[in-house]
Amino acid sequence: MTIRSGHWPPAPKAIRESPLPPSAWIHLQWFSDDAEAEGKTEQPTEHKLRKLREEEGQVPKSQEVSGAATLFLPAILLLFIAPHMLRTCVEMIRFFLTRATELDPTQDAIIVGVFFSYMARLLAPIFVVAVIAALVSNYVQVGAMFATKPITPNFTKVIPRFGQFFKRIFSSEGVFNFVKSIIKMVLIGGVAYTFIRMDFEKLVNLQRAGLWQGLTTVASIAIRMLITCSLLLMLLSIPDFLFQRWRFKERNKMSKHEIKEEMKMYEGDPQVKGRIKSRFRELLKQNLTTAIPKADVVITNPTHYAVALEYQKETMPSPMVTAKGSDNIAAQIRKLAEENGVPMVENKPLAQALYREMDVGTYIPREYFTIVGTILARVYHINERRRKAAAAKATAGASGAA
């Protein structure tokens, strides 16, 4: 059943007669899949997937992969440049504290420039690595792609649709995202609990430790927690990526009618294609009937390929391919050659090479002159012996009759 303009079909009689008010009715269509509701049961074709990608910018992509990559790589970088960042922070604090009584923030604009200079030194490496990680993770998933339709404003999406709201919550995607969120919370909470429990005594004794020891202890625990969580999230992103690919194909399923219409559009009507093939076979048969009797020799594979050659010294610079074919066409060429007395020579390499490299009506190139010339010379010698034998037989028959 097709639903248009956001209106649902009337509720069943049992629901209409229910004592509940109409505002309390809940259509089961809210919880159904769009593809199934519209009778779309076939997997999307390559043409539709290409159209979704190139024209609409729709591709299966997991945000978890990008999120995990943009968390893991900056965390690794932070592990190596943390001492440098700490020294920069100390330098920045010392600079501002030593000049706190000398500079006026409302009059000396140099303070703002120095502040942003320090911030750039602190955050630029992390920002650059995060951007590169996001770009690479997206490229690995979808490849090179540019489409403007996904970022084109569409104000119809602002209008609330309660049916779509319920459908997204109770759909397979909603359930999967809910379970995924629970797993992420459990993983992050478990990692935090494990690391804090492992270093619990150190954390308790921080009240008696110095500033530097306390800072390094907390930073060490935090960076280990961050790297471990990012690794676990990367592992979790693998099933999410597989699910997004499956969900994308399910969401873009096609009906049998759509597949038929697409085949007609891209590949032509099957009936028209059948008539064209039938006409082509008729023309090919007529050409074979004309070309094979004129051929001097047919090179065979012996069964899969057959190539007919004709050579007229007066008009042709080299032997010419007058017919070729594989399988059924090759069998037809051999049959016509046998019926018309055209010699057939079995040479597998030559038959395959001529079939793949030469077109009908073209002259063979110089690299085949030697082998083709040897074959034609042998064929001419056999034909000459046959001609003499036939002439002698005819002469003997004429003498006997006299």
Look at residues 252, 275, 305 and tell me which one is the last residue of a structural domain.
252
Number of structural domains in the chain? 2
Kind of pairing between the strands at 320-326 and 305-310: antiparallel
Structure confidence at residue 15 (pLDDT): 47
Look at residues 196, 229, 252 and tell me which one is the last residue of a structural domain.
252
Look at residues 252, 282, 311 and tell me which one is the last residue of a structural domain.
252
> Does residue 366 have a pLDDT over 80?
yes
Helix H or strand E encompassing 229: helix 211-251
Higher pLDDT, 369 or 184: 184
> Does residue 373 have a pLDDT over 70?
yes
**What does the buried/exposed string (b/e) look like for 334-349 if buried means 16 or more CB atoms within 10 Å of the residue's CB?**
bebbeeeebbbbebee
376 in the same domain as 244: no
311 in the same domain as 247: no
3-state secondary structure 350-392: HHHHHHHHCCCCCECCHHHHHHHHHHHHHHHHHHHHHHHHHHH
The answer to which of 50-54, 68-72, 178-182, 333-337 has the lowest mean pLDDT is: 50-54
> Does residue 382 have a pLDDT over 50?
yes
246 in the same domain as 111: yes
Tens digits of residue pLDDT in 80-118: 888 888 888 888 888 888 877 776 665 666 777 788 888
Q: Report yes or no: 296 and 340 within 8 Å, Cβ to Cβ.
A: no
Average pLDDT for residues 303-321, to the nearest whole number?
82
**Which is nearest to 265 in space by CA: 274, 277, 257?**
257
Q: Is 274 within the bounds of a domain? A: no
Q: Is 358 within the bounds of a domain? A: yes
243 in the same domain as 172: yes
174 in the same domain as 85: yes
Q: Is 372 within the bounds of a domain? A: yes
Tens digits of residue pLDDT in 138-178: 888 877 766 666 566 665 655 555 555 556 666 777 788 88
Please report the DSSP string for 145-187 in residue order: ---SGGGS--GGGGS--HHHHHHHHHSHHHHHHHHHHHHHHHH
Tens digits of residue pLDDT in 187-238: 989 998 998 888 888 888 887 878 778 888 888 888 889 899 889 988 888 8
Q: How many C-beta atoms lie closer than 10 Å to residue 66's C-beta?
A: 19
Q: Is 119 within the bounds of a domain? A: yes
342 in the same domain as 233: no
222 in the same domain as 301: no
Could you tell me the CATH number of the domain that includes residue 303? Answer: 3.40.1690.10
247 in the same domain as 300: no
369 in the same domain as 303: yes
305 in the same domain as 247: no
Range of the domain at 380: 293-387
313 in the same domain as 231: no
